[in-house]
Structure 1
Amino acid sequence: MTIKARYIEFSEKGKVAVSSEDVSTEGLKPWEVVVRNESSLVSAGTELSRLHDVLGNGKYPMRTGYASVGRVVAKGSAVEDFKEGDRVFYAGKHASAQRFTHGQNHQWGRLYPVPEAIAVEDAPFVCLAEIAMTAPCITPLDLGDTVAVFGLGLVGNLAAQLYQIMGARVIGLDPVKKRCELARAVGLPVVVDAPPDRQIQAVKDLTGGRGAEVTVDAVGHSGVIANCVEATALYGQVALLGTPRAPHPGDLTTLLGKIHTNGLVVRGAHMWRFPAAELREAKQTVPWGYRVMFSFMESGRLNIAPLRSHFVRPDEAPRMYDGLKNDLENFWGVVFDWR
């Protein structure tokens, strides 16, 4: 069988296009599958960085996306844990159908089951929830601890929700008014709409001058990390949930001195720290993470709907990426509908 598929690509730096191709279900390798997508979520930070070649190493044309939900329509002989018709999440590109190699030794090379009860427009958000859960999973909390999350984009919002589920008092901070409104909409009671130069004092004011026991950089910016260090309480923890990408001038000695004299622990909270498959030796695995995140989504403990600004057909992709870059008050969570 041949499927007429459409896909989104970055045809050149700064340019988004929608193209088409034939995807065959014949001649699959043992671990290959063909998935017909229902929806896919834009990861704005990563994808805009690639679209505009922030790191200077982009090679175009480039296919993008890593958060897709669909159904298996064909599979190779070695794939025994999924059958045709199963609903799956995987690191698929923005496309209506594609071939994908399952069974790899990292989480972007495997399929994960998706409950039928999760709405098509919500399901791909599990990708960002699983990324966000990394920080709460690696920062031990005591009763009464305060967690300050710097940056309330989708990942920061979800991380703040998860810390609140774990019982922490959460302070969310962001200079973008709309993101603060969304944080309040999902149930975060303490949200600070302030520019970066006022955020440290805001955390101190809300904690009696002590600072937060845990601070989280959910932006991926070295200046935000510096603010986190300054806003962390004595013997506290700093979690780097975002990935720093851009150079940032600053006084590294002062920063390290603060970490040293205040006894701070800085933790790298990258999503790839968890094993991609179930292991007897590990409780926290990627399959475990997706199961927990889906259960929180299904029960309503994770509030997803306010995080979605657009659920659109792929033809609108150029407008969506432009809005995510230039209109943060109206574009924040974009899901493509491939049905």
Structure 2
Amino acid sequence: MTHLNETQIKELQLLLATPKKIAIIPHRNVDGDAMGSTLGLYHILKQLNHQITVVVPNEIPDYLQWIPGTNDATLIFEGAHTDKATSVLKEAELIFTLDFNAFHRTGEQMETVLKTLSTTFVMIDHHEKPDTYAKYMFSDIEYSSTCQMVYEFIQKLELGDYINVDAATCLYTGIATDSGGFRFPRTTGNLHRIVANLIDIGVNNSQIHVNLYDNGDYNKLQILGKALSNMKVLPEYKTSYITLSQQEQNELQVKKGDTEGIVNYGLTIKDIDFTAFFTEVSEEKIVKISFRSQGDFDVNQFARNHFNGGGHKNAAGGKSFDSLDDTITKFIAILAIEKK
């Protein structure tokens, strides 16, 4: 846990007192908290006349495209705009990294650029074991979301009056998604008080939930149906898992973001406290894995120990360089040891 001290807060206030070139970066394969926190901070700081660009490592999924600022404030690093995005990062006088704490979370291309910079970095993040690249670090795993941390960061800088409806909408989005719709253990009374304030500012919370959860298409339901039909339950380990092969994804024309949230269905079964979702990614020659748990089973440590990953105690990710079948075999073998 690393919080900003009074001296650092005053230094940041001074830095932000005059217009600067600022870049704000989320992690690769953005989710609601990553986009909500970066764009929420963007909407606040742009009122101070800074020149701000949100540099997103790769494509933004469709289900997040409605978030205010997505189309006019963001620059995608991977693809046609790599050179322009690289220039923005190199020219930035201040860089905020939100919802991640290690450069490799931005992808190999962007990581290479970030490592060459001598710019002042500010980290705001709630994941374990942060790297030490940032001069200013607000890092604490006890927070439900980075959006909650951005809200408190802005209050510490005495900029709370700049949280307008657009900023509040962004922050609410990340809080809602990373708290599992306000049901995960770190949903505190203080978090609800923050949300109440965001609603008072003008957030249309009902519409946000429609945009996030009731705005899919028929094909996305077919993908969910296929994933659920592939689910296996291992009652002896209180575990379930779901697979989606590359061939199945091709047949269903899966797009980025279409599988978001599927892993959570594995925990809806009675007496199951651990679940995993294995997605074959032939292009990268890996199997991408999402882990979720309830109670005391630590999926962050599980992912770190066995699957080149990490995250939070009850939500983490990883990857395997084996085939999908071999990855499942390895997974079950590990369960036999760790959950016997």
Q: TM-score, normalised by structure 1?
A: 0.36
Higher relative strand content: 1
Greater RCO (Cα-Cα under 8 Å, separation 6 or more): 1
Higher relative helix content: 2
